[in-house]
Chain A
Amino acid sequence: MPRAPLILALATLMAGAGPRPAPAWRNASWLNAEKPVTLESLRGRVVLLNFWVFTCYNCTNTVPSLVDFDSKYRDQGLTLIGIHTPEFPPYSGEHDKGNVQRALERYHIRYPNTQDNDSKTWDLYGIRAWPSFVLIDKKGRIRYEGAGEFHVGDGSYQLWDSRIRELLAEQ
């Protein structure tokens, strides 16, 4: 098959597939939440997942932007969830719930966070680097994904901000 029609056929197939459903996480350990937060319970809300770890400078540099999103859009239907995924084995201290709690306090994080100590949710979403982001629409579909540090007001911040507003505006 010639290359151009093949590419066109693949593109058509991909376009027809549309956004894929977000996989349901099953993490048991949560902070800033009275009980485990499920994807099912968030249907009707826009969800921004942030895969991070407190030992990652790029992650903690991005937290002020996420705190800002939470402050601006929580009441409008955005739920931010931190997925705290360690880089190293437990000797690093990244698996320790007390250490994660102290990091939440240090960076003024009030949105729910879960410990992904076995990296199951990381693997479920095919994440490869810290920090990473997955934006899920009100129907539970993955609409945007990305990675990398950003700061309040910069280009990446504005891009994520516009994506959040776009999904909040949808029915």
Chain B
Amino acid sequence: MTDMAWNRKHLLDIESLTADEIVTVLDTARAFKAVGERAIKKVPALRGKTVVNLFVEPSTRTRISFELAEQRLSADIINFTAEASSLKKGETLKDTARNLEALNADFIVMRHSASGAAHFLSRVLNAHVVNAGDGAHEHPTQALLDAFTIRERKGKIAGLNVTILGDILYSRVARSDIWALTKLGARVTLCGPSTLVPKTFEQMGCRVVHNMDEAICDADIINLLRIQHERQRKTMFPSINEYTQLFGLNKARLAKTKPDALIMHPGPVNRGVEIDSDIADSSRSLILEQVTNGLAVRMAVLFLVNGGKGPQELTGN
């Protein structure tokens, strides 16, 4: 087959993907979403393959989503968390990963607090590496599931106004979303306190504004990010209360948006901080659809990288 726009062995970031490759993931995910709606939700695509979920940084929802995606593809799974591992005893990441590969792991799905950790692993291992979030760098599967959700609900991505609100500076989700959505032709606006949304992000092709009403008035999609206390070394804004006053999505602000504007949030939601509790549960909220779609997108990613041999195959190595 030459009509397939995917030859990558790993999924490390969105930045290096082409628009065609992103669309291939979204199209493939549509078929996998249908699998999740059947009575028998499992297919044998990764039968006999071993996947290691190497979560050096704590995560619940992403890990569970990957784990279920792997089970539905019939893979064998090893879960490896930082708390209960030799990393605590001083083993390096490279040694840990090599040990896992010595057990014939075919895939490593990694979450790590250091930016570039997934790229590093992909260079030292033969296994397929899927980045499940590296520091403040990228969280590619989140961006793919966000793009999938937007395309499914709006029928397209090109030409839409997408506003991302909140802690952009420390957010790998924001970076991956910006790459994915701008590559697919959306106009992305970033908004939040100037300490968390510096003007430098304009270099990524986005609009940066610091007034919430201005940011959301013409938005088709409002993507709210959580304030990540754990990534802030010093306080970047005076108080949570002030943040909510200035940047929280409440009913009064929502009333001033387009009537068909939809709300997204990668979770976990801080109700009453970045979003009013009623809005999070309203029919305009896509939060739970994002979770469902995340499963389909992760199945699609594992399915695609399984067949990808990477550039070394092309050069005849």
Instruction: Report if A and B associate in a common complex.
Output: no
